[in-house]
Every structure is written in structure tokens, then in C-alpha cells.
Structure 1
């Protein structure tokens, strides 16, 4: 009986890890799709259209997070806990009441955003003129995206319920389908309005934001298909519950909110920073540094187009490291200090090894990267902002992962405090730095906020995990040296390539970007391989990088 139980636990752990990997892959695929579509979309609507798109999407993202309050993860944690106790009834009751509750919060969020749209516009641009996006266009865009708030919260509760059964497939498939439907709709509708019907950019962007609702319908359809297939099986388990805690709705939601609030707030880090920029960027710069259309282009680059490029290495690094978080939870819970130290060290190493060279490379290749991906219309301002903003990918990654480690150690409240400190610093310095440095002021204020937040999370990990940073400090120094050598090679390549093939159109930017990336990768990986740093950091995942093991194999043969 004991052997069978242990076997079942191993199978359960295996299923959970496999499910986590599937969900991580789907999230990564969804993010990549969300990046790729922005290039043709920008080609259709331009940077001013992208700015308008951001005006609608940023308030929507924040309000959506407040409406859902981290529900998928919180519900999955709640359902999983009571299912493990043989109480399927409690989780099912939460699911049924949650569908009603999330429908109400979704409708309320929709009504708030829809009717608040005219009052939000002056916070974004005090007196919009016809030289940029007009008052009516911004209101229309915000109202079009607000409709998605009716559907998305309902999806979040269904996803969370499935995840509580360690079934990640429905969430994974629905995420990818939602993104595909949204992107196809956005590109089709904007191309039709601008290129075929000769409609305005404002109209096209308004309908593009409506793509959030269309995509959500696609995602919901997938989830409902899964639900009707599994409904009888789930109800059978509910009826066979061995116990019923008979929790009141008040007690259930109190427990749910305790899980959800920290997860929701930390997950909102980037949108909250962008919301501060949304309400300060244009109103600080218009009339002092830039005209309205110039400020809107700079805002589009900063908040969306350059930002999308920066998220690429962050997505890869966090996807590789975040899989360690469930094991960190287990080590912390079982008080296995040695293993916990090893896992945290590995997590830090993966992030630093991947994002430091990526940040350096993106900064050096900022102009060819922006030109190749978005064309030369706003090449100067795009390359200029991207050059200084690129290193933020390291800070985004570090905060995401250190917050996840604290979550694994059940110290998520500290991650919330860290974010609050960073946001406060961003809020009080943003307008001042924008007035001093123009568009780069927003970049510098973001750096200041993230450095403060990371200082808190790094300190907390050191204290509560008794983590010693000496090895990480040594590895960071070595990575910086390698990234510095790589930088010299990439700078020489960039200058040489632009001398041979000047960037006079979008197509001519590609060779410089491609060759620069290849040279950077070759130099950095060569140094990492020769020093065996690559093997120590990534050898468990990519055995060919582990030079010492390769040497032992060769000697053995």
C-alpha cells in the first residue's frame, strides 16, 4: 500500500512538472506571437497608431488584472489543495460561485472603463490636437478594448479550475488560440480599413483593440469544449468526495484573495510602470521638448515597439529559470538548505548568463535592430531610445525571477513591498527626469524603480534563504568581462557592416543586424565554453556545453 502511494505521488509530481512545462511553452509561444505581429501592425498604422493602441491597452491591462486579481493561479492553488484532501466539493462550489462573481466583476470593469474613457484622455494628453491622435480617437480606442473585460475574467476562473486538477492543457491551448485569433483579426481588420477602404488610422486602431474581445471569444470556445468533454468526469469526482469542509463563501473568498492579491500585484509590475508613463510622458514633454506628434512617436517606441524587442531575451531567460520555482518551494518547505542554495544559485546564473550579453548586444545593435524590424520612418528616435532602454531586460528578468523565488519561499508579501518601493520611486521621479532628459527620462526613472525593487528582493532572499552571494558576484564579474569582449567584437562588426552596407532602407538593415548577432553569439559562447561557464550554467539542459564532461568522455574513449 505504501509503495503504491509513493508511486502515485511520483506520478502526480511528474504530471505537475510536465503540465508546468506545457504551460510555460504555451506562454512563451503566446509571447512570441505577441511580438511578431507588432512588426506588420506597425507597418500598417505607424508609430502614432501604435501610441493610440497603447492608450487603450494599458488602462485595459491594469483594470483586467484588478478584475481578475490573479485568479487562475489562486483558484488552481485553492482547488489543488482541497482536491488533495479528497474534498472535490469545495473546489467545485468555488468554481460555480466564481463564474457568477467573475462575470459581475468583468461587467463592472467594462462599465468603468467604457464610461471613464473621456475622463482618462486628459491624463494621457491634456489638449490633443489634429496634429496627432485626437480626443475622439482615444476615447473610441479605450471603449473598443473595454468590451473584452466582459469575457476574459470568466476565462480566468475556468483556466484556474482546470489547473487545480493539474491539467494545464486547456489553459495552454486556449492561450495560444486566443492569441492567434486576436492577431489574425488585428492584421486583417487594420489592413482592410487602411489599405482597402482608405479609412483613418484612428478607426483602424480602435477596431484593432477590439481584437482583445474577439481573441477572448476564441479562447473561451476552447475552454468550453474542454469543459463539456470533461464535465461528467469532474462531477463524478465531486460526488465521490471523501470529505466536505463546508466552507462558507466568505471563508472561501477570504482564502482565495490571500492567495491572489500578491500574485496579481507582482504580475502587474511592467503594466503599472507603463501606466505611470502613460499619464506623465506626453503631458510633460508636449510644449517643452516636443510637439504632440513627436511625443506620441517617442511614447510608442518607449512603451511598445522598442519594449517588444526588449521582452525577447526576458521571455527566454524567465522561461528557462521559472521551471526551477516548484523545486525551490519543495526545498524550502522540507528545510533542505543545501539544495535550496544550489537551486537559487542556478536560477540567478541562468538569468545573468543569458540577459547580460543580450542587453549589451541589443544596445550596440539598437539602430539596425529597429530599422530592420520597423523600417526607417522613425529610425533615429527608435534606435536612440532602444540603445538606452535595452539593458532594462536584465532588470525585468531579475525582478520577475527574484519575486518568483520569494513566492516559492512563501514570502510573496516582500515581493509586493519591493514593487511598491519601485513604483513609488518611478512615480516621484518620472516627470522630473522627463523634463530634464526628454524621452530618456522615462527610461532612467524605470531603471531607478527596478534597481530599488531588486535591492529589496535580493536582500530578502539573502536573509530568509540564508543565501551567500559570493559565488554569484564572481560569476557576474566573469559574465561582464565576457560581455565586454563580445561588445568590442559587435561594435567593430556594426561599424564595418554599416560602412560596407549603409542602412538606407529597411532591407539593408538586416545584414548588419544578422551578422552582428552571429558575431556576438560566437564570441560569447566561445568564451563561455572555453572557461566552462556555459557548462556550469546550462550544462544540465544542454550537455554539449559542458566542456569538462566532454573532456572526460574523450579521455574514457
Structure 2
């Protein structure tokens, strides 16, 4: 029964995470229309340092606390988990306030490292300082939510986390869109002011999420205290012992979770400075950065999130198979995980790359179409690398070899740091894209080899699957390119409606081609049959026919 409860909770949390990510993609369209790509860049100037400090302030707390609390609940000790919960709120409140002060006070020092502010029309130092300081306030509240969410998850109750995540996102997005529209469109205010207030949405969203969690707490506290009173064991751990165990759980989770923000932080402090030093206009440079770190980045996270959500459901079973020594099941589960990732992300990456101009133009408009389509064309395939790293890191955690995921990230970040400025100077804006590729390829070399070693996993079959999926994706790309070129030739004038037509027809044709090839070759049934019944039935019919 507990396994069913955990599976149901995991599905609820996965669904909530997907909803939050989709909402995070949808709001960026009207937000970009209001503030422009340079406004999106300014938003990220504040949001990226905030995300890094938030991760450091919380240190992977929700998952770590849930693991700690669940462990002692299993042993019949509800009191130890509750002691950690109460002290955790105090400790995380302190780290959150420290993070807030650090970010708030360091804002004037960070601004010159991001842009020189030498060109008229670009974001000024005052804009950047204001934006950073407005978003920093959220650090006071969000770590407290992390503790409460982790505690509820320790009871295998994912509902509070799921609902609070969605409400937090809805409140944040509502605040961002209303305040930016009012300042820019109604009051004819400055974009810098509007974006600064928009980042304050992180705080208002956090308050919304915290209210939801408090409602759950007051509703369930009687049950929780009853459980504590019925504890059959009290380990009487000291605070030092509790936090030593908690940090052992949290550090690998926190560090791996920092992957994307840390990569983007490197770009934050090198992108504009390098391009402007090589003669690029500040406004153009900031537009490229807004697309690279914001608008295009949001698009490529969607296929990554879907693939990761479907495959990570296998991670608990991987842990169980590894612990029990069931090598045959372990090999099958890892193989299935890789197949799902490759099947979903390779065609998505190819499709986004081929239709990059149509995707960007239809979603964000035509104002920055040349820049947006150009960046997205080269950046789209990174979704495969993001997904592979997230899943290989999770597999290593299942194998209790998470230190190799940390090593992989550290090595990849080193490569990114060493190559970004050089590649930006050589290749222009896409240099930052290729530096990210090099970093992730290096990280994947470490995680993939570690899985091969410690799970005794052989990649021959997965390599064949990757080749087959790549061939199907290449055939799909040819069909989509023909549709893309034919539609552009027929429509002539570039309009947003035309871009929507090209996108919908091109994506539709691409989907049909790829799924037809996958279905006829039995690939779809073999990879997704357990998730889609009609594919499973087709696979069974084929086996009977043979």
C-alpha cells in the first residue's frame, strides 16, 4: 500500500512540476511582448544570481529532509523528524536572510561585471541593481517553504508540495504580467522599472505558496502530533548528528541541481562583456543574451522536462534493483531509461532546430526573429544533453555513486568556464552555446563511464537505438525542411500568422513522419509500449504473428 501511495505521490509531484514549467514557458510570451528581449535579459540579470543563492541557501533541503524524515518514520521515530523540522525552519530562515543580505548588498558590485553600460538604449547599472535587489527579498521566504515541503514529503504526502508549487507559480506570473503591463502600457513607465518590479514576483509567489503550506499544516498538525506521541523509538540525536546526516543527503542533490544556474552564471558575467569588447553594440548584445538565457532557453526546457519526468519514475526501481543485486533487472531499467530519453529528445531537438525561425516567430513575434531563430537553431539540440545529464546523475544517485555526478558537474563547469570567453570571441553569440555543449559533453563522459563501471552496463544496444532514432529524425528533418521552404516560398511575406502556419504544418508533418517510421519499425512499441496501451497491443500482435 505504501508503494502505491509513494507512486501516486510521485505522479502528482511530477504533474505539478510539469504544470509549473509549462506556465513558466507560457508567461514569457506576453512578458517578452511587453518588455522586449533586452527586458528579458535584465530580468535574468537579477534572477540568475538569485537562483544560485537560493540553491546554496536551501542546499537540496526538500528532498534531503524528506529522506531523513521518511527514514526515521520507518524506524517508528516521529519525534526526531519533527525536531529536525522545527530547527530546520530556524536554520533555513537564517541562511535565507543571509542570502538576501548578500545579494542585496552585492548588487552594486555585480552590475559592472554584467554590462559596461556604455551604450545608450541598453540596461543601465541602476536598472540592474534595482532588479537584483527586488528579487533578493524572496530569499527570506523560499527556504522556509523548502523545509515545510520536505517535511510533508517525509510523510509520503506530495499534495502540499504539488499544490503550493502551482499556486506559487500562478501568483508569481499574475503579479509579473499585471505589474509590467500597468507600468509600461498604462503609466508609460520605464522598462527597467517594470522588470525590477516583475522580479519581485518571486517574493509574492513565495508568499502564495507559503500560505498554501500553512493551510495544510493547520489542517494536519493534529494528526502529526498524534504520530509523534505514538513514537515507539526516540534516537535522541544531537543537532550536530542530525545536520551531519542531512548535509550528507543534501549536498549532492544541491550541487547537481545547480547545473543549469551555474552554467548561466558563467554566461552572465562573460557574454555581454566579451561581445562588447569585440565591438558589438550593447543593445544587440543584450538582445542576444535575452534570447540565449531567456526566451530560447525556456523553449528547449519543455522536451527536456517531459523526457526527464517519464524516465525518472524508473529511478526508485533502479535503486531497489541495485540494492538487491538483481543485475538483470537493473540492466533492463537503465536501458529503458536511456531509450525513453533518446526517443523523446532527439526528434524534439531536431524539430526545434529545423523550425527554429517559425518557433521563435510564432511564439515571440517578429521583432527579434533573426536573432531568436539563429540562436535557437544552434541551441535546440542542447535539450538532449540537459536531459541526459539530469537522468545519468539520478541513476548514479540510485547506485549510491552520486559523488561522480558532482565530479562530472565540476569538470563540465571547468570546461565551460575555460572556453566561453574564447569561443565568444571566435564565433560571436553562438560561442556561448558551443561552450555549453563542451561542458555538458565532458560531464556526460564522466557520468556515462561511471554508470558503465558501477552498474556493469554495456552501451552497445543503446548506441544502436540512438543511431536508429537519429536516422528517423534525419528523415523527418528532410520532410520538415521541404515543408518549411515550400511554405515560405508560397507565403512570401513574413508575418506572425505565417510563422504559425509554418510551425503547425511543419511540426505536424514531422510528428507523422517520425511516428510512422517508429511504429512500422516497432521502435515505438518497444520503447513506449508499457506507457501507451495501443502500442503495447500492437507489439503483442506482431509477436503472435511471428
Query: What range describes the TM-score normalised by the shorter chain of this pair?
Result: over 0.9
Give the one of 533, 540, 543 matched to 1:549.
540
Give the one of 389, 392, 407 matched to 1:399.
389
**1:476–1:128 CA distance, 2 compared to 1 (3 A):** same
Give the one of 204, 228, 232 matched to 2:222.
232
Give the one of 418, 424, 432 matched to 2:414.
424
**1:102–1:471 CA distance, 2 compared to 1 (3 A):** same
> Contact 2:108/2:129 (CA < 8 Å) preserved in 1?
yes
Give the one of 513, 523, 528 matched to 1:538.
528
1:1-150 alignment to 2 at 5 Å? 11-150=1-140
> Contact 1:124/1:282 (CA < 8 Å) preserved in 2?
yes
> Contact 1:367/1:379 (CA < 8 Å) preserved in 2?
yes
Q: CA deviation at 1:95?
A: 0.3
> Contact 2:420/2:431 (CA < 8 Å) preserved in 1?
yes
1:357-383 deviations in whole A, cap 9, x for unaligned? Answer: 111111100011110011111110110
Q: Partners in 2 of 1:128 and 1:50 — Cα distance?
A: 19
| Structure 1 length-normalised TM | 0.97
Q: Partners in 1 of 2:539 and 2:6 — Cα distance?
A: 33
Give the one of 366, 369, 375 matched to 1:379.
369
Q: Partners in 1 of 2:367 and 2:152 — Cα distance?
A: 46
Which moved further from structure 2: 40-49 or 281-290?
Answer: 281-290
Q: CA deviation at 1:86?
A: 0.4
Q: Partners in 2 of 1:290 and 1:370 — Cα distance?
A: 23
Structure 1: tracts of 5 or more residues without a match: 1-10
DSSP-derived class of the 1:466 partner: coil
Structure 2: tracts of 5 or more residues without a match: none
Q: CA deviation at 1:508?
A: 1.7
Which moved further from structure 2: 368-377 or 498-507?
Answer: 498-507
1:256-311 deviations in whole A, cap 9, x for unaligned? Answer: 00000000000111110000000000010014141100000000000010111111
1:388-428 deviations in whole A, cap 9, x for unaligned? Answer: 11100000000001001101111111000000010000000
> Contact 2:315/2:394 (CA < 8 Å) preserved in 1?
yes
Q: CA deviation at 1:126?
A: 3.0
1:230-253 deviations in whole A, cap 9, x for unaligned? Answer: 011101111111011110001100
1:251 and 2:241 matched: yes
> Contact 1:352/1:476 (CA < 8 Å) preserved in 2?
yes
| Structure 2 length-normalised TM | 0.99
Q: Partners in 1 of 2:244 and 2:109 — Cα distance?
A: 33
Counterpart for residue 304 of structure 1? 294
1:281-296 alignment to 2 at 5 Å? 281-296=271-286
CA RMSD of aligned residues (A): 1.1
> Contact 2:42/2:192 (CA < 8 Å) preserved in 1?
yes
Give the one of 476, 490, 494 matched to 1:486.
476
Q: Partners in 1 of 2:263 and 2:118 — Cα distance?
A: 23
> Contact 2:117/2:123 (CA < 8 Å) preserved in 1?
no
Q: CA deviation at 1:552?
A: 5.9
Counterpart for residue 314 of structure 1? 304
> Contact 1:502/1:508 (CA < 8 Å) preserved in 2?
no
> Contact 2:526/2:539 (CA < 8 Å) preserved in 1?
no
1:506-543 deviations in whole A, cap 9, x for unaligned? Answer: 22210000000000000000000000000000000012
Q: Partners in 2 of 1:326 and 1:28 — Cα distance?
A: 19
> Contact 1:544/1:550 (CA < 8 Å) preserved in 2?
no
Q: CA deviation at 1:123?
A: 1.2
Q: CA deviation at 1:125?
A: 1.1
- Count the aligned residue pairs: 545
